[in-house]
């Protein structure tokens, strides 16, 4: 188990919510925070850098890593495999860093079991319409991929209730400030879901 809480922060969100941008800003602003780089079997997007965004590997390589227990957690998302490398995460925690895992709800469920001290945060978009707009605007995925990701968001967002805190990602600065303040003051109590957050979550059920 981890030595203390706040060593491991999980950030999940439906695809297109902007969590990568939030995580980048957090690690830029807070030198004590680092982001884990996941392994994936997904194809690299044009704007991605191998070793920076992800470590892109083949399915056999990923399977070999699973067999070697090299992952802290792993899951299949949108038909591809994604996993958090155990060695790197443990090394960063040993150095006293707060490690951010940008992973889906399945991965969060696995980590909660092995590391009950982890802190889990869920980002939601300001509205269903805004999420669709952001997915379209990103311009990195095919129409089929966008539809799949939007459909999956309906399921993903229902898992937000299992997290320690939910944040609406409307404004980057504000979201990062809210996250930092929450982490700073966290003493084991969940952040209650606001009426506004609940109405956004419920709008995805329709
Ligand atoms: P994308 O393909 O858009 O980069 O990511 C798709 C989904 O996979 C996102 O929800 C992202 O958080 C999740 N993901 C990325 N890396 C990991 C990982 O290492 N483990 C798990 N469980 N999910 C991941």
**Which residue has a Cα nearest atom 3 of ligand 1?**
15
User: Which CATH number do you get for residue 181?
Assistant: 3.40.50.300
pLDDT the model gives residue 141: 78
Q: Which residues of the chain have pLDDT under 70?
A: 1-5, 206
Other CB atoms within 10 A of residue 23 CB: 22
pLDDT the model gives residue 4: 53
Ligand 1 centroid to 67 CA: how many Å?
20
- 169 falls within a domain: yes
- 68 falls within a domain: no
pLDDT the model gives residue 138: 79
pTM tops 0.75, yes or no: yes
- 102 falls within a domain: yes
- 173 falls within a domain: yes
Ligand 1 centroid to 162 CA: how many Å?
18
- 22 falls within a domain: yes
The range of the structural domain enclosing residue 112 comes to 8-36+97-203
Contact 175, 22 (CB under 8 A): yes
Nearest to 181 by CA among 121, 99, 97, 109: 121
Cβ(164) to ligand 1 under 6 A? no
Domain count, the chain: 1
73-119 confidence digits (pLDDT tens): 999 998 999 999 999 999 999 999 999 999 999 999 999 999 999 99
pLDDT the model gives residue 205: 85
pLDDT the model gives residue 112: 95
Ligand 1 centroid to 104 CA: how many Å?
6
Ligand 1 centroid to 117 CA: how many Å?
21
pLDDT the model gives residue 37: 98
pLDDT the model gives residue 38: 98
Sign of CA dihedral 85, 118, 153, 141: negative
Mean pLDDT of the chain: 94
Cβ(103) to ligand 1 under 6 A? yes
Other CB atoms within 10 A of residue 36 CB: 18
- 182 falls within a domain: yes
């Amino acid at each position: 188990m981890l030595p203390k809480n706040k060593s491991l922060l999980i950030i999940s969100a439906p695809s297109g919510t902007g969590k990568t941008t939030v995580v980048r800003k957090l690690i830029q602003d807070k030198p004590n925070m680092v982001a884990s780089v996941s392994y994936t079997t997904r194809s690299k997007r044009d704007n991605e850098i191998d070793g920076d965004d992800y470590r892109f590997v083949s399915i056999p390589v990923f399977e070999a890593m699973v067999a070697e227990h090299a992952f802290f957690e792993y899951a299949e998302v949108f038909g591809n495999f994604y996993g958090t490398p155990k060695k790197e995460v443990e090394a960063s925690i040993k150095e006293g860093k707060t490690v951010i895992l940008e992973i889906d709800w399945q991965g969060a469920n696995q980590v909660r079991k092995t590391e009950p001290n982890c802190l889990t945060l869920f980002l939601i978009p300001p509205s269903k319409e805004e999420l669709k707009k952001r997915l379209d605007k990103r311009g990195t995925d095919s129409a089929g991929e966008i539809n799949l990701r939007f459909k999956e968001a309906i399921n993903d967002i229902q898992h937000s209730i299992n997290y320690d805190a939910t944040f609406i990602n409307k404004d980057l600065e504000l979201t990062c400030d809210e996250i930092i303040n929450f982490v700073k003051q966290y003493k084991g109590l969940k952040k209650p879901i606001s009426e506004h957050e609940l109405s956004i979550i419920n709008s995805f059920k329709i």
